[in-house]
Amino acid sequence: MLPIHIMGQAYEVPEGLTILKALEWSGFRLTRGVGCRGGFCGACGTVYRLQGDYRLRYALACQTVVEAGMILGQIPFFPAQRPAYRLDALEASENILVDTFPEILRCFGCNTCTKACPQEIDVLGYMAQAVRGDLPALADASFDCIMCGLCVARCPAELVPPNVALLGRRLYGRYVAPPAGHLRRRVEEIAAGAFRQEVARLKALSREDLKAQYEAREIEA
Ligand code: SF4
Ligand code: SF4
Ligand code: FES
């Protein structure tokens, strides 16, 4: 058993659990701060210290194994500014991100965001690319962002890096990246009704047959 603290209270939890499971094992019924349990949804951002260590550490609770001496706090939600925009009314211009998020010019390069990112993303780096209007570099650098908001919680300039990056990736996908020929072809096939018969067959299956077919599906390598 490992001694840990959750929200200031001492607990003992079995070795080998993730932080998420340790919370549940300790009696917390999670209705917020949990989602996919697979490291993709960004809902389970966690902050902790290790006893005797001054450093604040950041993690996804579903992906991090609990350690003795962890002093844990969950950050289920952090309020963040999100401007409304219509993608089809925007242009992938050099100034588009600064025009939409003028506050990003306040970034003073402290790198606190990068240190907080559980995905090990160079957040400061992509914020600099956002200011420069380098959409391809920004889209690439921020690709693994799961919108957990931990960098938002820590930014002393009160910026919201994930929302800036999200618009950057949307603009890149819509206006800059080369069109995906295979996707266009598949959309045309769907519109032409190529799968209508197959969909009708699946819809007519019983729940059990549908489950069996799902289990037996071929999974791409
Ligand atoms: S960039 Fe920010 S919101 Fe995205 S994963 Fe990293 S810490 Fe979370
Ligand atoms: S924490 Fe905020 S101010 Fe500091 S580098 Fe990151 S975005 Fe810029
Ligand atoms: S629960 Fe979705 S990332 Fe942890």
Tokens at residue 30, please?
């999670």
Q: Specify the pairing of strand 9-13 against strand 45-50.
A: unpaired
Among residues of the chain, what percentage have pLDDT more than 90? 88
Tokens at residue 211, please?
């489950």
Tell me if 34 CB under 6 Å of ligand 3.
yes
Closest CA to 18 of 145, 49, 26: 26
Specify the DSSP class assigned to residue 18. Answer: B
Neighbouring CB atoms inside 10 A of 93's CB total 13
pLDDT (0 to 100) of residue 32: 86
Low-confidence ranges of the chain (pLDDT < 50): none
pLDDT (0 to 100) of residue 221: 74
- Give ∠ CA 142-144-147 in degrees, rounded to 5: 85
Ligand 1 center–CA 33 separation, angstroms? 15
Tell me if 150 CB under 6 Å of ligand 1.
yes
The answer to whether 28 touches 35, Cβ cutoff 8 Å, is: no
Measured CA to CA in angstroms, residue 172 lies from 86, 88, 137, 186 at distances of 14, 12, 10, 21
Any idea which residue has 């908001």 for tokens? 149
Sheet-wide strand order for 45-50: 9-13, 2-6, 70-74, 45-50, 57-60
Ligand 2 pocket mutation pick from 56, 78, 98, 113 by most atoms within 8 angstroms of CB: 113
Ligand 1 pocket mutation pick from 56, 82, 115, 145 by most atoms within 8 angstroms of CB: 145
Q: What sign results for the dihedral spanned by CA atoms 177, 180, 184, 186?
A: negative
Q: Which ligand is nearest to the CA of 44?
A: 3
pLDDT (0 to 100) of residue 139: 97
Q: pLDDT digits over 175-219, tens only?
A: 999 988 999 999 999 999 999 999 999 999 999 999 999 999 988
Tell me if 149 CB under 6 Å of ligand 1.
yes
Neighbouring CB atoms inside 10 A of 159's CB total 23
Measured distance CA(42)–CA(150) in Å, rounded: 9
